[in-house]
Amino acid sequence: MAVAEVDGVAEVVGPRSLPLLKRLKEFTSMVLFMTFYLAITAWNYGYDVGPLPEAFVRPADNLRSFIERFGDYNAKTKTYAIPSYLASIMNSFPYLGKLLGCWAAAPIAERLGRKKAVLTITFTSFVGVLLQLTATTAAQFTIGRMLCYAMTGICVIVMPAFMAECAPAILRGMVTTQLQLQIVVAQLVAAAINYRTSTSKSDAGWRISVGIQFIMPGLLLLLYPLIVESPRWLLSQGRNDEAASSLRKLRKKNVSDKAIQEEIAVLSHSDGNEGKGTWKEVFSGSNRRRTGITAIVMVGQQITGQAFVSQYAVVFYKKQGFTNSFELGMIMQALGVIAVICTTFVVDSFGRRHILLGGGVITAIFLFIMGSMGTISHPTGTQKNVMVACVMLWFFFYLLSWAPMPYVVLGEASSRRVVEKTNNIAVSLSVLSAFLVSFTVPYLIGADYANLGGKVGFIYAGLGVLFTSLTWWFVPEMKGRSLEELDRMFEDRVPTRKFRNAEVRPLQL
């Protein structure tokens, strides 16, 4: 990054696109460290999604003690089971905790800073995991999960913005997608740990699965003194000297102090970095459009079936008669890891918009196919295999597109003046969408309720088409632009489909 000044106008300039190897050279040691550190704040969220739903379909292994402790005994079958209503509560109510976390995150990040929000994430995780480990009732266990999900609400509000504010524009997509990579890696680890503890018939089995979640907040606390505060947040607080010091640590060593001061001067003259705005600003002027963009991608990330596949895929496989449902789930999670790694390397080349549109179309197709197979009263083995393949391929292309991309868009679409408030609105709507899907799935696929089976694909496919269409009309391409450039592009009302190649009005000093 450099600062260019011509005839009284200045701009932080840099390449809009670079080949992969040259792009990787733009990483400094501090940017690389911050990317890793901020990404692992999402690890526990991904991990927590893994162990619990397994208990609903795998009573014969390590989670049998979990079911006996929190489930109901059926005298006719002489077995314990988690009833559908309790499964629905235990998997959906944590999203209410996430919603509370969202509303706590905005004032913390806005007034106290991004670093203090990381401390909040750490301590909330510790308390939530402790409540789960010591739970003797389903209520206590669910409250523990709600606290862990509250941590996630804080994470999703703050981390995309924190990452976007620290990363060079050319690396912003690659950096922010690491949140999703940590989530899906954690899901795979959770599945593997469940498998490794499968010989345990005592409470130790599920307690080990839950207790693993102490590791990441411990690591966050240990490394906390090494992280830097967001330069843009410091500027918004009028702490210019501290902002310069923070920026110095993020930039390459060969960047002169004069260049750092010039960049700080340019950033401080951007309206987005001059103080914090009110709630009224979130829905005023160009911010109304920006709020709508973040809402589209964050709601679309959840309401198109994410909770169905991530939480209930193994349940779905079991209900289709597959005896190797756990192994199928492991394969699916491994495909997800591969998908996000692929996206990491192409997001700053292909851009956000193309990936979202392509992924939306492909995932909808697989869901329509799954729905069609579900209409067959007595499907053959081949037809059941097609349904399973559709779920896995949906998951792969979802992890390639609609899983990581919304975090990238969330981090860059909002004005810095109201980024915490805008993200709060978008993530809150996302949480409500996830709650709706998570709460309704057991009733949609449960044999004692709607019993839709594969036909549930029609519901999520239709929603996928809707949000892909909204993306086409409203979500612009923002790759390679500085956050300050994006501010002026939105202020100048650049049309959605002209964002990619638009000339940007320079900043007047």
* pLDDT interval class at 59 (50, 70, 90): very low
DSSP secondary structure letters along 283-313 = TSTHHHHHHHHHHHHHHHHHHTTHHHHHHHH
**pLDDT reported for residue 61:** 46
| Tens digit of each residue's pLDDT (9 = 90 or more) over 372-431 | 887 887 878 888 888 888 888 999 999 999 999 999 999 999 998 999 999 999 999 998
Q: For 25-40, give one letter per residue: b (16+ CB within 10 A) or e.
A: ebbbebbebbbebbbb
Q: Number of H helices and number of E strands within the chain?
A: 26, 5
Give the CATH fold of the 16-508 domain: Growth Hormone; Chain: A; (1.20.1250)
Own/partner long-range contacts of 441-447 (Cβ < 8 Å, ≥24 apart): 441/88, 441/307, 441/308, 441/311, 441/312, 442/84, 442/85, 442/87, 442/88, 442/91, 442/312, 443/84, 443/88, 445/312, 445/315, 445/316, 445/319, 446/84, 447/319
In the chain, domain spans: 16-508
Strand-pair category, 79-81 with 507-508: unpaired
Which of 94-98, 250-254, 288-292, 503-507 has the largest mean confidence? 288-292
258 burial type by CB count under 10 A (0-12 exposed, 13-18 middle, 19+ buried): exposed
* pLDDT interval class at 65 (50, 70, 90): confident
Measure the CA–CA gap between 461 and 502, rounded to whole angstroms.
Answer: 33
13 pLDDT higher than 60: no
Measure the CA–CA gap between 493 and 431, rounded to whole angstroms.
Answer: 29
| Tens digit of each residue's pLDDT (9 = 90 or more) over 136-187 | 888 899 999 999 999 989 999 999 999 999 999 899 999 999 999 999 999 8
493 burial type by CB count under 10 A (0-12 exposed, 13-18 middle, 19+ buried): exposed
Q: What is the mean pLDDT of residues 115-134?
A: 94
**pLDDT reported for residue 507:** 57
Listed in sequence order, the residues at least 6 apart from 218 whose beta carbon sits closer than 8 Å to its beta carbon are none
82 pLDDT higher than 70: yes
**pLDDT reported for residue 74:** 74
**pLDDT reported for residue 198:** 60
| Tens digit of each residue's pLDDT (9 = 90 or more) over 335-344 | 999 999 999 9
* pLDDT interval class at 14 (50, 70, 90): low
* pLDDT interval class at 287 (50, 70, 90): very high
Distances (CA, A) of 257 to 241, 247, 440, 482: 12, 10, 56, 21
Tokens in use for 476? Answer: 């612009």
Q: Kindly state the helix (H) or strand (E) to which residue 247 belongs, with its residue range.
A: helix 240-250
**pLDDT reported for residue 380:** 83
Measure the CA–CA gap between 487 and 449, rounded to whole angstroms.
Answer: 49
Length of the chain: 509
Closest residue by Cα to residue 327 from 58, 60, 46, 56: 58
56 pLDDT higher than 90: no
Q: What is the mean pLDDT of residues 48-76?
A: 62
Q: What is the mean pLDDT of residues 496-507?
A: 82
DSSP secondary structure letters along 15-28 = -S---HHHHHTT--
User: Which residue bears the tokens 């919603």?
Assistant: 99
What pTM was estimated for this model as a whole?
0.86
Closest residue by Cα to residue 486 from 402, 426, 419: 419
**pLDDT reported for residue 63:** 63
**pLDDT reported for residue 6:** 40
| Tens digit of each residue's pLDDT (9 = 90 or more) over 228-266 | 999 999 998 989 999 999 999 999 888 888 888 988 888
364 pLDDT higher than 90: yes
Measure the CA–CA gap between 496 and 489, rounded to whole angstroms.
Answer: 10
Arithmetic mean of pLDDT over the chain? 85
